[in-house]
Amino acid sequence: MALYITCKTLPFCPSPPATSPLKSRVSTIRCSVSLSSEDVALGFGERPWKTADARLVLEDGSIWRAKSFGASGTQVGEVVFNTSMTGYQEILTDPSYAGQFVLMTNPHIGNTGINPEDEESNQCFLGGLVIRSLSLCTSNWRCTKPLADYLAERNIMGIYDVDTRAITRRLRQDGSLIGVLSTEDSKTDDELLEMSRRWKIVGVDLISGVSCEAPYEWSEKTNSEWEFNKDVISGEKFHVVAYDFGTKHNILRRLASCGCRITVVPSKWPASETLKMQPDGVLFSNGPGDPAAVPYAVETVKEIIGKVPVFGICMGHQLIGQALGGKTFKMKFGHHGGNHPVGNLRNGCVEISAQNHNYAVDPASLPPGVEVTHVNLNDNSCAGLACPERKLMSLQYHPESSPGPHDSDPAFREFIQLMKDAKQNA
């Protein structure tokens, strides 16, 4: 059947002449509606919207009904909230989110679609995406496909039309919670709850599942269109060995833009093989999970620090803390987002940073001679370390900050200077 709607509209005119009366425009819109005999009898039409077909069951017993997009099935993960306003594609492809469901506090997600240039790794490692409102259209000249299609291709589950604000308040109050995402009606709420309470993420080695399998050379620089710092370093090149604990592409691009030749090696690459390469410096990258669950990585860091300049980022920072004799601990709900204020204790400046971690270094456990250089101004947790005697520096957050902010990009130049000084003093 056809439904006709007649509308009367007035043309826009901010200040029409008094002698020229406004003329209204009448238009008729034809809508095709398919109705069953029962719907017609009841006076209802078909629902043109998706109904709830998914559940998020948290280990605290709460059940959240939602609508699914992307992949279907059942998945377990740790639920964390991310406060970034933009950059969901970079978040989806950040290996540091392995084993986690990312809940975006920004309510509107999907409006910029997906494009191949913004990926931080070759695949998605997170368990699922939880959002409030899924954009039905995209508005971005770089877009090649919508978010829902992208997640379906990558076999990643997503849910929307769920109260993300209420879940975020719960996570802030109770801490990160294990949850189960499911689109399967055959599984009861009690079965999903039992799955969430059996699954563990603490003490699990998540790095091995995201690291490269063999060494490779990286030479790609930051694209000139997105090079926000035109004062790139040229001239002398430094060879950097980058341990891939789950590294992001833009960390490597920033180092390459600073004039580094980069060899990326797997997480279990022996320290002795690295030292045989005689690198000018070593990068210990970001990565997922519990640093205490990867003692082999800690031993590698121990064997390298003091011999060549090192730079640790996120997981690399935590591994350096442990290698120096310090301890790490699991935070209540971690830091995830692109708007965390960090105090640089050396110059007194405040940097707005991008962060993604659930663990932190306990500064009270560090030995003498190790300097805390940065603190998170939200909770005063340790956000940076330095030890000039051992030629090391580390940051708990992401100085490459893709898609932003870029306040901490000078850290890469500090690492270059560290290698330059070590070379001159050799």
Task: Say if residues 67 and 53 touch (Cβ distance below 8 Å).
Answer: yes
Task: Look up 414 and say whether it is catalytic.
Answer: no
pLDDT at 266: 98
Which residues, at least 6 apart from 334, have a Cβ–Cβ distance to it below 8 Å?
A: 80, 176, 356, 357, 358, 359
| pLDDT value for 235 | 61
Range in 30-44, 83-97, 309-323 with the lowest mean pLDDT: 30-44
Q: How far apart are CA 241 and CA 247, in angstroms?
A: 12
- Contact indicator for 340, 306 with CB cutoff of 8 Å: no
Q: Which of 249, 357, 374, 398 is catalytic?
A: 398
Lowest-pLDDT range of 194-208, 217-231, 301-315, 373-387: 217-231
R_g of the chain, CA atoms, integer Å:
26
What local confidence, expressed as pLDDT, does residue 44 receive? 44
**pLDDT of 131 higher than 50:** yes
Summarised one tens digit per residue, pLDDT across range 18-72 is 444 444 444 443 444 444 444 444 444 455 678 999 999 999 999 999 999 999 9
Cα 96 from chain centre: 7
- Residue 15's pLDDT band, with cuts at 50, 70 and 90, is very low
Q: Which of 276, 320, 288 is nearest to 301 (CA)?
A: 320
Residue 48: the pLDDT is: 63
pLDDT of 236: 74
Convert the pLDDT of each residue in 280-315 to its tens digit: 999 999 999 999 999 999 999 999 999 999 999 999
Q: Which residue has the higher pLDDT, 323 or 11?
A: 323
What would the mean pLDDT of 69-94 be, rounded to a whole number?
96
The confidence score (pLDDT) of residue 37 equals: 45
Please give the mean pLDDT across all residues of the chain: 89
What would the two tokens of residue 337 be?
Answer: 């987002």
Residue 224: pLDDT band with limits 50, 70, 90: confident
So what's the pLDDT on residue 43?
44
Residue 225 pLDDT grade (very low, low, confident, very high; cuts 50, 70, 90): confident
pLDDT higher than 60, residue 13: no
Percentage, residues of the chain above pLDDT 70:
87
DSSP secondary structure code for residue 255 in this structure: H
Residue 31 designated active-site? no
Indicate if the pLDDT at residue 321 is higher than 80. yes
Which one of 124, 212, 258, 314 is the catalytic residue? 314
Would you state the pLDDT for residue 106? 96
- pLDDT grade, residue 405 (50/70/90)? confident
Q: Is 314 a catalytic residue?
A: yes
DSSP string for 77-98: EEEEEE--SS-HHHHHT-GGGT
**Tokens of residue 77, six digits:** 């993960």
* pLDDT classification of 234: cutoffs 50, 70, 90: low
- The per-residue pLDDT for 49 is 74
Confidence of residue 403 (pLDDT cuts 50, 70, 90): confident
Q: Are strands 281-284 and 260-265 parallel, antiparallel or unpaired?
A: unpaired
* pTM across the whole model: 0.87
Q: Which of 249, 260, 400, 406 is catalytic?
A: 400
Rounded Cα gap, residues 419 and 253, in angstroms:
18
Structural tokens at position 368: 């003498």
State mean pLDDT over 118-139: 95
The confidence score (pLDDT) of residue 98 equals 97
> Percent of the chain at pLDDT above 90?
82
| β-strands 63-70, 371-376 pairing | unpaired
How far are the Cα atoms of 111, 199, 207, 273 from residue 182, in angstroms, in the given order?
25, 15, 26, 45
